[in-house]
Structure 1
Amino acid sequence: YFPLSFQPTENYNNKEKEQQEAIEHTDEVKNEIDRLNEKASEEILKVEQKYNKLRQSFFQKRSELITKIPNFGVTTFVNHPQVSTLLGEEDEEALHYLTRVEVTEFEDIKSGYRIDFYFDENHDFKNKVLSKEFHLNESGDPSSKSTEIKWKSGKDLMKRSSQTQNKASRKRHHEEPESFFTWFTDHSDAGADELREVIKDDTWPNPLQYYLVPNLDDEEGEGEEDDDDDEEEESLEDIDDEGHEDEGEEDEDDDEGEEGEEDEGEDD
């Protein structure tokens, strides 16, 4: 038998050894999970690439149909609650020449995508297509680049927006929204680019939902017309009620007159 003073130390060492072995085995299990996750990511990527190619024909068909709908692109952006805040009057005028928007994911998919804006001949710039690309490097940090906008003489909407903003800042002490087109030249923080997320994840998958947003002005107008109709009906009902009341009073007077005549005849 060991001395009593030695047993607690031995038990403690055994427990410490078991704990250390459990930690090592837990780390091994984690590594196995990581390997499975990596393998799953590779297989998921292959599936995404497969279906991304299958979707292209449908996107192409949709783009062809959209070109037959007048002002589809600008209406979609104007009706979108976030995009509309970036649009000034001159931006909207320029976007009337927008024929379609397309999002193309790179073959790797994880490495990024490109957003293309197709325009008809217009008064502001010479480009037929304005593009902005978003890339992810190996560390996962995003970056962006875009085509240079070839503005026609005196038509640079970004300069006009800047001048308007400077004039407004002298009158008001808050920042005015920049031109929609400054988005193409802003590469300061691609990771915080909300517009790219809105276009890729919202308007691109289903642009029709924003094109079909009901015109609130029309609805208000219809509501006012309905109110007017209700008021007219109420006034007509009031007139009818008053008329019936007057007729009732006249009938009572007539009845009293007839009774009086009958009484006089009996006296005679």
Structure 2
Amino acid sequence: MAWRPELQSLRIELRPRALKINNCMDYVEALHQELSNVNAQDDRAFLQLERKFGRMRRLHMQRRSFTIQNIPGFWVTAFRNHPQLSLRISSQDEDMMRYMINLEVEELKHPTAGCKFKFIFQSNPYFRNEGLVKEYERRSSAPVAYIHRNQEGNTISSFFNWSSDHSLLEFGRIAEIVKGELWALQRNSGCTTTACGKSQILQVPV
């Protein structure tokens, strides 16, 4: 069967076009390789900067934490003045928090792990733990070892039950507040827009 002139012409035109497509694919592949190299360099540079500034940040946070530990009533005041958390804090919770000297928040490396909260206390008459630990999203935590229980032998009703009770529907919201606002409170020298207002400094009793 003889090719019609128009079909033969179309066949001839397709050959150089195919070569152009192959050239484009080769070029795209080369660009992809170059981009991969750039990304690798970027990752290395980022890790170097992260380590450098991470060390600097940890040093400043350690100094700030040490300073806060010497301010009587800092954390009980921060929790009590928060418009949402204060609703969950009883007078007994306030007494417990007077022994709280530090709050630590540690970002966990695994992307789905979330973060770890650690509430640090002085020796106190309420529980034996030196620190209460809560890992958010993994839903694992250290139980609160109360020294005293109520008359029925049950755990005392307290704000700190949040650190070990995952049945609370709002536990995720509490975690977000503690990390994003109270932890930021420490980083921002005792002031947040939610708890203190834009220009109001946290007032700590002397």
- Of 64, 67, 71, which aligns to 2:66? 64
RMSD: 3.9
Question: Structure 2: how far apart are the matches of 1:185 and 1:34?
Answer: 44
Secondary structure of the residue that 1:4 maps to in structure 2?
Answer: helix
Describe the shift of the 1:33–1:74 C-alpha distance in structure 2 as closer, same or farther (beyond 3 A): farther
Q: Which residue of 1 aligns with 2:5?
A: 3
Match runs of 1:1-268 below 5 Å = 3-12=5-14, 14-15=16-17, 18-19=20-21, 21-23=23-25, 25-84=27-86, 86-104=88-106, 114-133=116-135, 143=138, 145-154=140-149, 159-161=155-157, 180-185=159-164, 193-204=172-183, 205-206=187-188, 208-210=190-192
- Asked if 2 retains the 8 angstrom alpha-carbon contact of 1:143 and 1:187, the reply is no
Q: Distance in 2 between matches of 1:45 and 1:79?
A: 38
Q: What do residues 137-161 of structure 1 show as CA deviations (whole Å, max 9, x unaligned)? A: xxxxx635333321123159x9454
Q: Distance in 1 between matches of 2:134 and 2:189?
A: 19
CA contact (8 A) 2:93 2:159 kept: yes
What CA distance in whole angstroms lies between the structure 1 residues aligned with 2:9 and 2:87?
A: 76
Cα separation, 1, equivalents of 2:138 and 2:163: 13
Q: Which whole-Å CA distance do the structure 1 matches of 2:80 and 2:135 have between them?
A: 23
Distance 2:188 2:14 in 1: 64
1:11, 1:32 → 2: CA distance? Answer: 32
Query: So what's the TM-score if we normalise by structure 2?
Result: 0.65
CA distance in 2, matches of 1:199, 1:207: 15
Superposed CA deviations along residues 170-212 of structure 1, whole A, max 9, x for unmatched, are xxxxxxxxx5323322568xxx945444444443322500475
Aligned residues: 185
From the two aligned structures, give the one with the greater helix fraction.
Answer: 1
Q: For residues 81 and 34 of structure 2, what CA distance do their matches in structure 1 show?
A: 49
Which of the two has higher C-alpha Rg? Answer: 1
Q: Which has the higher contact order (CA 8 A, sep 6+)?
A: 2
Change (3 A) 1:16 1:87: farther
TM-score normalised over the length of structure 1: 0.53
Q: Which runs of 5+ in 1 are unaligned?
A: 135-141, 162-178, 216-268
User: Which stretch shifts more, 203-212 or 58-67?
Assistant: 203-212
Q: Secondary structure at the match of 1:99?
A: strand
Q: Is the 8 A contact 1:49 1:109 kept in 2?
A: no
Deviation of 1:30 after TM superposition, in Å, equals 3.5
Aligned equivalents of 2:88 and 2:33: distance in 1?
A: 47
Matched residue, 2:204: none
How far apart in 2 are the matches of 1:43 and 1:77?
Answer: 39
Q: Which amino acid aligns with 1:145?
A: S
How far apart, in 1, do the equivalents of 2:49 and 2:69 lie? Answer: 31
Please list every run of 5 or more consecutive structure 2 residues that lacks an aligned counterpart in the other structure: 202-206
1:5 is displaced (CA, Å) by 2.5
How far off its partner does 1:101 sit? Answer: 1.1
